Structure formats: C-alpha cells, structure tokens
Structure 1
Amino acid sequence: MLKTILHYINVNRWRLIKISKNNFLIYCSVFVGLMGGLAAVALKYLVHFMEDLSRNIGAHVPFHFMYIFLPALGILLTILYQHLVNRDQIQKGIGTIIFNIKRNKANMKFNNVYSHLITSSLTVGFGGSSGLEAPIVSTGAAIGSVTGRFFKLTTHQKSLLIAAGASAGIAAVFNSPIAGVLFSLEILLGEISIPTFIPLLIASATGVVVAKILYSRQLFHLATEGWHLQALPFYLLLGLLSGWTAIYISNVAHKLEKGIFKKQNRYVRAVLGGLILGVIILIFPPLLGEGYHYLQEVLNGNINVLQEESLFSTWLQHPLIMAGFIAALVFMKVIAAGITLGSGGNGGTFAPTMFTGAFLGLFVAYAVNLTGWVHLNTSNFIAVGMAGALSGVLHAPLTAIFLIAEITGGYILFIPLMIVSAISYIIARLSNSHNMYWHDLIHEKNVRPDKDYEMLTAIEIRKVVNRKYTAVKRNRPIKELYKLMAETSTNIFAVLDDEKHLQGVVLLDELRKRIVDGTLSATATIEDLMIEPPAVIEYNQSAEDVMDLFDTLDVWQLPVVYHGRFVGFVSKSNMLTEYRKVLIGQHHQPDPFGH
C-alpha cells in the first residue's frame, strides 16, 4: 500500500512539473476516450453474449414462451447483481450524472465503471425493452470522474472529463463523433465554448477509432436518393406528431421508471414486471431488446419483417391492420421500456425514443402511401422520425440532427432533419421547459441548470456569517451607543435579550440622522431607536434565498439566527466575496506538493 501511495505521489509530482495544465487535460481526454471506446465495445460484445445465452435457453422451451420468461429472467439477474454483488451502489440514469456534476463536485463512485456494463447487458441481452446508451454514458462519465479524482483535478476539469467520457461512449456506440460531443454539450454541460469543445472532440474521436478497430459493424445503413419538395408538408406533419409523441414519451417514461408494484419487494417486482413485459413482447415481438434489428430491416424497405414471429402474421398481411400495428408499436415501446426500468432493469430511454420516432415516421409514410395521393420515401421518414423524437425528448436538436445524419449516412436529409427536429423541440418546450433529466433534478433535488445558481449552492451560510457582532439591550440608555460608535467600525447593532433572542436591530445611519435633526432626547433608550429587521436569515437557509432577499429588500446586512438564537450578521459583500472564491476554485487546480 505504501509503495502504491508513493508511486501515486511521484506521478502527480512529475506531471505537475513537466506538463502544463491544459496539455495534461488533453492527455486525460485521450485516455478517457480510449477507455470509453473500450467500454462501449465490451458492452456490445457482452450484449451479444447474453443474447446468444438467452437464445440457447429459449431453444429448450416452446418458442413463444421464450418471449414471456426471458425478459423477467434478465431483470431478475440484474436485481440479484445489484443487490447481492454491487450492494445497491450503482447510480442509474443520465440525471444522476448531471446531479454529480452540479452538487457532488463531479465525483462518481468507482463501481459505475463496470457495474453498468454487467447489469445493462443482462437486462437488454435477455430481451428487456430498453437501450444501452444511458449505461454506456454512465460508464464513460464514471471513467472521466475517476481519472480526474486520481489526478486531483478541479471540479471544472473533472466535469469536462465526465463529459469527455460520455462523448466517447455515445460516439463509440453510434460511430458518431460529432453527435457524441454535442450530446455532452447540450445535455450534461449546457455550454458551448472552444476550451470545452476540444477535450470532448478528442475523447469522442478516440472512442470512435477504438470502436472501429475492435468492432467494425455499423449500427444502421440508409440508402437514399434525397428528398423532394412534395414531401415537405408531410415532414411538417411529422414534426408536429414528433413533438406530441415526445411529450407522451417523457410523461409515460417518467411515471413508469419511478417503479411499479412499489408495495412488493424488489424480487417480486422484478418477476411481476418482467412477466408483464414478456406478455407485451409476445404480442409485439419488435419490442424485444433494443429493437435495432427491426429498425434496420424497415430502413431497408422490408416492412414484412414485422410479421415474423408474430401471433398475428396472417392478419398483418392486410395493409390497414399493418398500419394499426405500426401505430401500436409507437405507443407501446415507451410502455415496455418504462416497465423494464421500473421493475428493476438497467437501461435507458435513448434507444426506445429512437425506436418510437422511427416507427412514427414509418407510420406517416406508410399511411400516406396507402392513400395513393403521393409516394413518400419510407426510409427517409424513418430516419427523420428518429431525430424528431430525440430532439423533443432530450431537448437537444443539434444532437438529434447530427446523430441521425451520422449513423445513417443521411447527410442529404439535413433540411428535413432540421425542420422536424426544430418543430418537435418547440412543441416539447411549450409543454415542459426542461428535458426529462432536468425535470426530476429541479422538482425533486432542487438542482437548476443556471450557472449562478450552481455557484450559490456551493456557498454555505455558516461560512459567511460575521460572528464578531456588537449586541445591546433594549432598555439601556442611548448614550451607550456613543461609546460603541468610537470602539467599533460596524454600522449595525443587534438588540438581544438575556437568552440571545433577537429583538431588533439599531442602524448607525439612523442614529446619526436622529442626532443631526435633534429628534433624539437625552433620556432616550435603545428601544426608541430599535427597528425590526426587514428579514431574518435561518442558519441553514440556502445562499440563493439569501441573495434573493438582499436584491429584493435592497439591504446589505441581515441578521442570522439558529434555533431562534442570534448568531451574527451576513453581509451582501461577504456573499459576493465567497461567490468569487467558489468561481475561482472551480477553475484553479491546487498543487498538493506546494510547487
């Protein structure tokens, strides 16, 4: 252990002496990108292994029963690992990453480096109707956080490495480096600047290179000859439908992911939820797993793939019934994903959102083509529908546009992608000004996306309270204040009783005014000059609330009490000084070796 500590100290001493801070962050970005790419590849292979294992298990039971029991088995195995092996230390969801950046000084637990790979591969590999994007984002973010913590980087630098790891994960999974960068900028950091952009770009590119070397398969392939102006009204329609669908996805996913069968223990919840999920998948086989296989087939124009393994394959040969089946998939995918996560599985809503958007686009094109009015390119609408749903759910139109353009090779569809994504984003924003990740943080954990609030939450009132106050009693003669004026530089006095309860305050400016205008009698007491403070601060009150009071009341000092007893004054100038210290501290790298 001692050798390890000494080696760690030597590494940090060497890099502080030999490498500039900016260059070292670039090197860390390369490392995080490399590890994020390896994690993405590992997750893909793990999922394929679990899928093969589940198929081997399913080979020994009647075919359709496989759909019912295997998802429940995968969720149950996920719960067993989380409870017995991981000891419930896993931190799920992209919202948790944002919370750690904003409130936990960009620190994430080490077990998140590997636990998401295991649990999400069990959930999705056995047929859970969820996605792997949120787990790989969490894995990459944890790699970035652990790297930053190892090298004692600042909170700001650790936040950048968390975003770099997330970018590498997204980029490696989808083979989309630009979308990986934009995802972190729009979702995790909420800011775009060159110093922020460069580390993310390096990590994202590194992740893609690693994934291409070790896993060459492309997620989607789209062959298109472009789009035509006659399809423009239907793209506008798709944009509207995408926005409304995004609202539906956010609301349903939010409710189901909170948990189902809450009165039952985790194992009963996993089994019951898994069996319900299995029945849904039995009726709608395309909901099995991520659903990307079916997505690629319909992109290729093979809509008949939806009839395969279906209990209603004969009925689905009728075009109107097929249209109804496609519409049902749009609504059922998010329900299946919500049940998967709400019953204890690990995954995300990223892939289900893409699936829902794709089949929404398929439904619009398929239904319009049935009318014979005009012929729409089905593949184009599938691709653009994915972007529309993502833009509305994530509130990240740039990520949606570039992700779909990169993974499908459909740069020729940029105009439809822009139109649909913009309309969907506007409609979703009208319903909720924040995406589904920020919604929970704001309403449940009191975390807000603005920078000023982030700085203020790092300030503790107890650290800025001035306890060197001057106290007086209300029944004392006013002449005692004259002596205090000569002995102290304060301009406010606390009026306390014997139990240190605040009874009021005396302002030095008011005393001077009364002396000058001659309205203060020689027999006056402190009580004659005492006033009630405009507000009283509680010792554990938030810094944001205190600053709001200063601005609203237009005062510079307020009294602070703890359990009813006066402890001191807090001044606006002290608050602003502490704010500046926090701002500098987030960007300044401490030197643990005193260099």
Structure 2
Amino acid sequence: MRASIHRLGVNEHIILSAIAIAIGILVGYGAILFRTLIELFQFFFLGSGSENVVDIVKGLEWWHVLLAPVAGGAIVGPMVHFLFPGSRGHGVPEVMSSVALHGGKMKMRDGIGKMLACSLSIGSGGSVGREGPVVHVGATISSWLGSKLQMSTKHMRTMVGCGAAAGIAASFNAPIAGVMFALEVILADYGLATFSPIVLSSVIATVIARLHLGDFPAFIVPHYTLVSAWEIPAYIGLGLVCGITGILFMHTLFKSEDLWAKIPVPRWMKPAMGGFLLGAMALVFPQVMGVGYDTMNNALLEQMAGWIMALLVIIKIIATSITLGSGFSGGVFTPSLFLGAMVGGAFGTYAHALFPALSASPGAYTLVGMGAMAAAVLGAPISAILILFELTNDYRIMLALMVASMVATLLINQVYRDSVYTKALRRHNIDLWSGRESGLLRHIKVGSIMRRSYEQIPDSLSIRKLKAKIHQSQEENFLVTNDDGSLKGIVSFQDIRGVAFEEGVEDLVLVRDIATRELITVTPDDNLYDAFRLMGSGNIEQLPVVAANGSGEVLGVVTNNDVIKAYNRALLDREVEEEARSR
C-alpha cells in the first residue's frame, strides 16, 4: 500500500484519514443494522421492539416470559456452536487480543456471527449489553477493509481502533468517549498519528447515527451538581461500594462460566437451560431482561425505591452471570452501567435521607455510580468519565465522578489487577500486560527449537571420570540419568568443587551423590515465553525438555541463547512480513 501512495504523490495521513471516514460510515450503518436486528428479534420473542422492556414483560403471560429466553437460547446455542464458534466471548476482549497479538486481523465471519448471536440474545431477553458486540462488529468491519487494502500491521491496528471508536460513538451518541475508549482500552496508544484517524471515524459514525436515530442521548439525565464539599466523603464511600460490587460481579461472572463448563451436557444445549433460569427470575424481577436502559433511566429520574435498587444489584449480577456463563452472546459494558446505577441510586437514597442538607438527590449518585462502576470493571476510567460528561453536557458533577471512579478502579486493581476484559483473556492464557512482543514467544513451542543432542552422564559415574568428562567437553552442565534414561538431576562444575580436590574420594563419591535433584523442566508443548520466564526466576541458563507423559524421559534441552535466537528470528520474520504487506 505504501508504494501505491508514493506513486499517487498523496500524503499518507490524508489516505489514512479518508479510510477512517469510510470506516466511520460503514460502522455507523453497521451499528444501526445491529440495533434494528435487536428490535426485530425482540418483536419476534416479546411482541414489541420498544426499549421499555419492563413494561413489555409485565404485559405478557407468565409462560411467555419463561419461555422467550429458552427459545432464544435454543437458537443461539446451536448457531454459535456449529456455525460461528469464533463469535464466542464478550466482544471487546477478542478485539484487544487481535490488536495485541494478531496485528489487528479479524475474521468477517466471526463479526457476522457476533452480530446475529448478540441480537438474538438481547432480543430474547438476555441480560447482556450491546456496546461490547458493537465494538467487535466495528473492529471486524475495519479489519476487513484494512485487509482488502493490504495495509501494514501498524496501520491495521489503527484502523481496528477506528472501528471500535465508531462503534462506541454510534451506540452512546458520544464521539469523544468513543475516541478515548479506543485509545485507552483497545490500543493503549495516544500517539498523534493514531489519534487523528480515530477522531474522524468516531465523529462520522456519530453523524450517521444521529442522522437516522436522532440526536438523543442514550440516557435521560437531569442536571445534577455537587451540593457541598462535605459531600466528597460520601462519593469516596460510593466509590468503595462500587469497587466491592465490581469485584463481586467479576468473581460471580467467571465462577459462573466455570460452573456451566462442568455441567455434563452438550455445549450447544446450555443457553436454553440458562434461558429457563433467566425467565424464571424475570417473572419476579422483569428488570433483568434486556439491556436495561429503561430501568437505568427510572433510577436517574429518581422513580425507584432504594431497597428495590439494592436488591436488583444482586439479581442483575446473577442474571448476567447465568446469561453469559450458559453461552448466550453479549457484552458486559451495559450490565456494568446497570449495576452502577443501582448501587449509586440505593447509596444516594440512604445518604440523602441521613444528610438531606449536605447531599444531592439520589439521581446524582445514580449517575456517578454508573461512571464509577464502568470505570472500575472495564478498566477505562477516562472513557467512563467522558461518556458521563457527554451525556450530561455539564461539568459540575464531574469532580464527584472522578473521585468515585478513581477509588473504585484502585480497589479492583488491588484485588484483581485486571479489568473484566483482561481477566477474560488471562483465563485463556493471554496476558496483554506482558506486551505484544511476548506474543512472539508464546506462539513458539519448545519442541521446535530444543537441542536433541546434549551431554548426559549416568548417575553411577565416579567423580574422577566426571572430571575427565568436564575437561574434554565444552558444556558446563550435564544431565544426570539412570539406567533406563530417566532424568534424575543435573550436575555442573560448581557441584564438584567441594569434592574435586579431596584426596581419596574421587572414586568413592558418585555423581548421584552431588547432583542437583530439584529440577525445573519443560515439555515440548510448552511455549518459549514460559520457558524463558522459568530460566529467569531460577537464574539458570538451560532447561531439560522431558516427555509430557510424566515418564521423566529426556528428549532434549533448551538454553537461554536458544530462546533469544528464536525470538530474534520471529521478530525479523514479522518485520519482513509487515514491510512486504505495506508495499
């Protein structure tokens, strides 16, 4: 692509900006299509496409409420399992992994599957969010376009960020928040070259959404303000409660996934089972069905009792955990906002009742709780603050929001050291905190570079013969094996120093008497990142490679230098590939 740009004589940034505008248009219409699908499926399952899901559910027969999520799960389960297995997940973690480890490459098939599975899940009453899937769909569209244009890996990542920003912007009618979400969560890059295209995509997607859906905020937010400086301790307390609730939410969510995985039934049947449990809960608490925008608006307008909101915190955590754990598809962005609204509303109700002259009304705490919970659970405090700022168009409540968001984020980081997104990836052995470069080592197996010829000695060898062996060899470490070839230890020159110069013991002391028996080993299926980490933690330069069946059979060795050479080769291959793609 770079060569084509040079031939045209056009500045590269202008070309990227034009592509970013195209992505904004495509993702804007993609977000509209996604919302239309949700409305169509909701009309099919619940009889109405309105966002006032609580009112809809209250008007249905009990059997209809119970069976609607079951029917949705009966469709989503087989569809994801047999047709779109790549569409599993919350949406955002898969985009983060693609950017960090795969150069922004995403499959269009997975994006289509994600859109269908999520719209079916939400339309049938699933207690999940739509913003995460929109980010996935936007990133997939931009990745597809980047692949068609044969963009370099660097530019491909930027384009994926453009798609993610456009998705958030179109969903919340919040272009600034879309930009910051892409920079803060997806790319972790605030460079000017990255910033400009993302801004364009976000703005264009917002314009498209406003053109077709109207210039309306995602939530109905009255104007709130900080009543008194004495209210700051109350918002610190709200931040602590949001942090604790976020920890409970994340723990329950991942515990639910583990429990559902252990149920001995086919995977494609589990969403229908989860749908039955969700429908049963909705008979008593209809607020758990769907994305929950109507319930959040009621909390913001102070139309809910404090005890109901407090109870809904627990019910929503269980409902969302069942929905996602059983195999429905959807995001955790909106459920985080829902939990924050309920926590903040309940907290504000009782704070205002105790100190009416010093505290704002419960709606202000609802708003701050939404931002604090999203900031902590999603690991995106800047994005959460900006979303709320764009929703209110008022900076007077921002001080309270910033305080609560930081307290909640610090608390969750202290316990989990992960957001819900990075925790989901870590559960699949993907560690983004270690950096994109470590991904090179994670994709190389020990068996592909291990040395199959190595120095080994029997454990019955005398010290005299060992000294002669060391004198003739260029190796510093020797693997010690028994008669059947099983690994029993390792010996080096450092081990024989204590007995090498003592008279009369050279023929009496055997290798087995001085060998180090507490060994760190790897198998051929282990990756080089783990092997390199073991070498560093043990301050050793060589690891024995043993059979994975536990027999102790030695297959080879891998050294520190072997790992470094493999990394350099992989890095060079990647740079050559990126250079070839950019031409």
Instruction: Give the TM-score normalised by structure 2.
Output: 0.79
Q: Which residue of 2 aligns with 1:284?
A: 285
Q: Which residue of 1 aligns with 2:52?
A: none
What displacement does 1:593 show?
8.2
Is 1:575 aligned to residue 567 of structure 2? no
Q: What are the superposed Cα offsets for residues 4-63 of structure 1, whole Å, 9 maximum, x if unpaired? A: xxxxxxx89745855777666555444433322221121122223333444537999963
Q: What are the superposed Cα offsets for residues 422-454 of structure 1, whole Å, 9 maximum, x if unpaired? A: 111122222211122322432442535211643
What displacement does 1:175 show?
1.8
Q: What does 1:70-89 correspond to in 2, within 5 Å?
A: 70-83=68-81, 86-89=83-86
Residue identity (%): 25
Unmatched runs of 5 consecutive residues or more in structure 1: 1-10, 307-321
Distance 2:559 2:296 in 1: 60
Distance 2:259 2:6 in 1: 47
Distance 1:332 1:594 in 2: 51
SS of equivalent residue, structure 2 residue 418: coil
The 3 A distance-change label for structure 1 pair 237 and 79 is: same
Distance 2:255 2:560 in 1: 42
What displacement does 1:170 show?
1.3
Q: What are the superposed Cα offsets for residues 245-292 of structure 1, whole Å, 9 maximum, x if unpaired? A: 111211222233456593445676444432332232232233331121
Per mean C-alpha deviation after superposition, the further-off stretch among 267-276 and 490-499 is 490-499
SS of equivalent residue, structure 1 residue 231: helix
What displacement does 1:207 show?
2.4
What displacement does 1:132 show?
0.3
Q: Which residue of 2 aligns with 1:333?
A: 316
The 3 A distance-change label for structure 1 pair 368 and 60 is: closer
Distance 2:355 2:521 in 1: 72
Q: Which residue of 1 aligns with 2:410?
A: 426
Is 1:461 aligned to residue 452 of structure 2? no
Tell me which of 63, 88, 91 is aligned to 2:88: 91
Tell me which amino acid in the other structure corresponds to 1:419.
Answer: V
Contact 1:154 1:587 in 2 (8 A): no
Q: Which residue of 2 aligns with 1:129?
A: 127
The 3 A distance-change label for structure 1 pair 582 and 171 is: farther
Distance 1:234 1:40 in 2: 38
Contact 2:174 2:387 in 1 (8 A): yes
Contact 2:123 2:290 in 1 (8 A): yes
Q: What does 1:313-324 correspond to in 2, within 5 Å?
A: 322-324=305-307
Q: Which residue of 2 aligns with 1:543?
A: 528
Distance 2:259 2:115 in 1: 22
Q: Which residue of 1 aligns with 2:53?
A: none
The 3 A distance-change label for structure 1 pair 406 and 581 is: farther
Tell me which amino acid in the other structure corresponds to 2:33.
Answer: A
Q: Which residue of 1 aligns with 2:60?
A: 63
SS of equivalent residue, structure 2 residue 320: helix
Distance 2:253 2:494 in 1: 58
Contact 1:37 1:207 in 2 (8 A): yes
Distance 1:60 1:170 in 2: 28
What displacement does 1:136 show?
1.0
What displacement does 1:354 show?
0.5
SS of equivalent residue, structure 1 residue 407: helix
The 3 A distance-change label for structure 1 pair 359 and 154 is: same
SS of equivalent residue, structure 1 residue 412: coil
Distance 1:436 1:277 in 2: 22
Q: Which residue of 2 aligns with 1:48?
A: 39
Q: What does 1:212-291 correspond to in 2, within 5 Å?
A: 212-218=210-216, 219-224=218-223, 226-229=225-228, 230-258=230-258, 260=260, 262-265=263-266, 269-291=270-292
Distance 1:402 1:252 in 2: 28
Tell me which amino acid in the other structure corresponds to 1:336.
Answer: A
Tell me which amino acid in the other structure corresponds to 1:544.
Answer: Y
Distance 1:24 1:591 in 2: 18
Unmatched runs of 5 consecutive residues or more in structure 2: 50-55
Q: Which residue of 2 aligns with 1:441?
A: 425
Is 1:294 aligned to residue 285 of structure 2? no
Q: Which residue of 1 aligns with 2:23?
A: 32
The 3 A distance-change label for structure 1 pair 228 and 68 is: same
Distance 2:277 2:489 in 1: 64
The 3 A distance-change label for structure 1 pair 357 and 554 is: closer
Tell me which amino acid in the other structure corresponds to 1:352.
Answer: P
Contact 2:480 2:515 in 1 (8 A): no
Instruction: Give the TM-score normalised by structure 1.
Output: 0.77
Distance 1:472 1:454 in 2: 36
Distance 2:390 2:58 in 1: 40
The 3 A distance-change label for structure 1 pair 458 and 30 is: farther
The 3 A distance-change label for structure 1 pair 503 and 294 is: closer
Aligned length: 559
The 3 A distance-change label for structure 1 pair 200 and 588 is: farther
Q: What are the superposed Cα offsets for residues 329-381 of structure 1, whole Å, 9 maximum, x if unpaired? A: 22212222222333432212211110111122222222333446435233322
Contact 2:88 2:329 in 1 (8 A): no
Contact 2:173 2:215 in 1 (8 A): no
Contact 1:154 1:586 in 2 (8 A): no
Give the CA RMSD over aligned residues: 4.5
Per mean C-alpha deviation after superposition, the further-off stretch among 584-593 and 222-231 is 584-593
Distance 1:141 1:104 in 2: 13
SS of equivalent residue, structure 1 residue 130: coil
Q: Which residue of 2 aligns with 1:383?
A: 367
Contact 1:390 1:396 in 2 (8 A): yes
Contact 1:357 1:382 in 2 (8 A): yes
Tell me which amino acid in the other structure corresponds to 2:308.
Answer: F
The 3 A distance-change label for structure 1 pair 536 and 325 is: closer
Distance 1:242 1:123 in 2: 27
Q: What are the superposed Cα offsets for residues 174-215 of structure 1, whole Å, 9 maximum, x if unpaired? A: 122232233234433445444444443343333223322332
Per mean C-alpha deviation after superposition, the further-off stretch among 237-246 and 189-198 is 189-198
Per mean C-alpha deviation after superposition, the further-off stretch among 414-423 and 157-166 is 157-166
The 3 A distance-change label for structure 1 pair 63 and 448 is: closer
Tell me which amino acid in the other structure corresponds to 1:333.
Answer: K
SS of equivalent residue, structure 2 residue 160: helix
What displacement does 1:95 show?
3.0
Contact 2:152 2:582 in 1 (8 A): no
What displacement does 1:403 show?
1.7
Larger Rg: 1
Tell me which amino acid in the other structure corresponds to 1:276.
Answer: L
Distance 2:40 2:158 in 1: 33
Q: Which residue of 1 aligns with 2:382?
A: 398
Tell me which amino acid in the other structure corresponds to 1:222.
Answer: V
Contact 1:404 1:410 in 2 (8 A): no
Contact 1:222 1:409 in 2 (8 A): no
Contact 2:162 2:202 in 1 (8 A): yes
What displacement does 1:130 show?
1.8
Q: Which residue of 1 aligns with 2:352?
A: 369
Q: Which residue of 1 aligns with 2:185?
A: 187
Q: Which residue of 2 aligns with 1:417?
A: 401
Q: What does 1:81-230 correspond to in 2, within 5 Å?
A: 81-83=79-81, 86-93=83-90, 94-104=92-102, 106-218=104-216, 219-224=218-223, 226-229=225-228, 230=230
The 3 A distance-change label for structure 1 pair 542 and 255 is: same
Distance 2:296 2:381 in 1: 21
The 3 A distance-change label for structure 1 pair 200 and 577 is: farther
Tell me which amino acid in the other structure corresponds to 2:533.
Answer: D
Tell me which of 339, 344, 353 is aligned to 1:356: 339
